[in-house]
Chains A and B, each alone.
Chain A
Amino acid sequence: MTYTSKEHIISSLKKGVRLDGRKPYEFRPVSIVTGTISTAEGSAVVRCGDTEVIAGVKMAIGKPYPDRPNSGTLSVNAELLPISNPAFESGPPSTVSIELARVIDRGVRESKTIDESALCVTPGEAVWMVNVDLCPLNTDGNLIDVGALAAIAALKNTRFPKYEGGQVDYKTKTDKQLPVGIIPIPVTIVKVGDVILVDPTADEFEVADARLTVTTEEDGTICSLQKGGEAPLSLDEVGQMIDLATAQAKELRAILVKAL
C-alpha cells in the first residue's frame, strides 16, 4: 500500500514520470489463470500489477424472451468487495460497480462474442442463460480492462453442464464449449492535465481529469466507447486515444490467446 498526495502525482506526471516507473503507454505485467473455481462452469483470475479480478460463469436453463424465442441470454455482473480496497463499502451496488459491469457487458454484447442462438435448447421453451460474475480480489486501478479480460477468459473456459430431462446436473461437465467468437478487448485511457496514460493505477485514476474506454475487436472495429470524468476531450485527443487503445488491445489479445 502506498499513500501519495495528488499534487505530487500530478507534478511528477508533468515531468513525464509515472511514480511506479512505467512509461506513459506501458501496461503492467498481465497474467491469466483459467479454471480456478471448480464449482463454476467457467472461471479465470487475471492479475495486472496489484489489480486482481476473479470471474466466474454460471449457466442455468430459463425461458427465453417472447420476442426472441431462439436466443439465450448473457449478462455480466460486478461486485466491488470491500476487501479489495478500503475505498469500497458494502451495501447496494455503487455507480462504479454498475458502470464496470455495464461497460464490460456492452463490449461482450455489441461485439456478438457469443452466438446466442447456439444457447437455445427448445425454441420458446428453454434456453441457456449465461451469467458472468466479476469480483475484484485486489484493486489498484484499471478494473474495466482487467475485469473484461477475466470475463472473456472465463467465457472461453466455460464447459456446458449436463442437461437431461429438464434437469441440469452441475456436477457433470460436458466437453461442449461456449461458442465464443469475436474477442472484444477494452483499453481505458486517462488524461491527467495534458498527459495521456494507459493502465492507470488507483492513485492515477484519482487524479485523472477524463477517461475513455475503447473496446475493439481483432480487426480494429470499435464496439463500444465509454467516457468518464469531468474534463472534455478534443476530437484530436479522442482520435489519439482510439489509436492507442487499438494498439494496446493487440498486445493484450496476444497475452489472452497465449494463456488460453
Chain B
Amino acid sequence: MKESKLLAKDKDIVTPGETIAEGMDFFPGIGTYRYEDRILANQTGLLHVEGKVLKTTPLAGRYLPAKNDVVIGRVSDILMSGWRIDINSPYSSVLPLKDATFDFIKKGADLTEYFSLEDYVVCKITQVTSQNLIDVSMKGPGLRKLRGGQFILVNAAKVPRIIGRQGSMVSMVKKGTGCQIAVGQNGIVWISGEPTSEIIAVEAVRKIEREAHVSGLTDNMKKFLEERTGTKLDLEQIKREAEAESAAAEQPRFQSRPPREESFQEDK
C-alpha cells in the first residue's frame, strides 16, 4: 500500500476540493471527505489535524445545527402540537409541546399563551436527523423566553471567541456594561440593559467579532470596556466567577418533572 502523506499543515487555510492528505491512514472529520484514497476539504476554513482525523472549521458562513448546541431562535409558526423555531440556519427547527414546558397543557389549548409569534427563546438542540429535521427543547438550565432588549446577528464561526474560554469574554462584557447578554451558537446575541450601556455592549460584541483572530483580544477588550465605561475590571475575578458559573451549569442537564398532582392543581 502507498505511504500516507499530509499535504497541508495544521491551521492552514484550505479551499473546497483541495487535497489535504493522500493515503488511507487519515480519516475525514467535519468539513472534509474521502475521495478514492485522498481526503479533500469541502469548505473554506482552517485545517485542524487531530491525530489521524482531519477537520476544518469555516471562516464564515451560515450556522449549521449540531446536537446539544444552545441557540437563540425566533418563533416563526405555531403548529398543532408545538412551535416552529427559526434558528438562523438553512433548516428550521421544531419545539415539541412535551419539551416546551413543565405545565400540563389541555387538549386544544391556545399555544400562544406559552410562546407567541415573534417571541425569542433560548433553546437547546436535542436532535438533528440526517434529513436535517431539527428538534429543540426548552428544558434545561438557562433555557428561557427572552423579553425586551435587542438582538444582533454575528458570524456564527466567531461565537466561540465571543463566549471566550468558559464564558470569560462574555462575562467581562456583562460585568463592564451591566447588561444581560445571551449568546446563541447560531450567531444571535441578545443584549438587554440601560440604553447607553447596551450601545457599548453591542460595540464590544462587534469588536470581538471583527478582531476574533487577533491575539491578546482579552486585554484589548478590557481596555476598550474600561475606556468606554470608566470602571476598572478585575480579569482574575471575572475568570473565577465565569468558571464557577459554567461549573454550576454542568450540574443536572434536565430537571425532573414535577409530581403529577401539582400539574393537575394548575389545571383547576
Contact = CB atoms under 8 A, between A and B. Distances in A.
A5 B148 CA distance: 7
A19 B195 contact: yes
A66 interface: no
B199 A8 contact: no
A1 B195 CA distance: 19
Nearest to B88: A1
B151 A17 contact: no
B148 A21 contact: no
Interface residues of B, number: 15
Contacts of A1: 153
A69 B15 CA distance: 63
Interface residues of A, number: 14
Interface string B123-146: 000000000000000000000000
A3 B150 contact: yes
A2 B150 contact: yes
B79 interface: no
B25 interface: no
Contact of A19 (B74, B120, B153, B198): B198
Contacts of A2: 150-153
Most buried by A among B120, B199, B202: B199
Contacts of A17: 195-196, 199
A20 B153 contact: no
Nearest to B196: A17
A183 B151 CA distance: 40
Contacts of A3: 74, 120, 150-151
A7 interface: yes
Contacts of B194: 15
Most buried by A among B150, B152, B202: B150
Given A15-B195, A20-B199, A21-B203, A4 B153 contact: no
A8 B148 contact: yes
Interface in A22-58: none
A226 interface: no
B176 to A, nearest CB: 16
Most buried by B among A7, A15, A17: A17
A8 B153 contact: no
A15 B198 CA distance: 13
A5 B152 CA distance: 12
B90 interface: no
A5 to B, nearest CB: 7
A12 interface: yes
Contacts of B149: 4, 8
Nearest to A5: B148
B186 to A, nearest CB: 13
A7 B148 contact: yes
B199 A19 contact: yes
Going nearest first, the 10 A-B pairs with the smallest beta carbon separation are: A17-B195, A12-B195, A4-B150, A21-B199, A3-B151, A1-B153, A2-B152, A15-B195, A17-B196, A8-B148
Interface of B: 74, 120, 148-153, 194-196, 198-199, 202-203
23 contacts: A2-B150, A2-B151, A2-B152, A2-B153, A3-B74, A3-B120, A5-B148, A7-B148, A8-B148, A8-B149, A8-B150, A11-B195, A12-B195, A12-B198, A15-B195, A17-B195, A17-B196, A17-B199, A19-B150, A19-B195, A19-B198, A19-B202, A21-B202
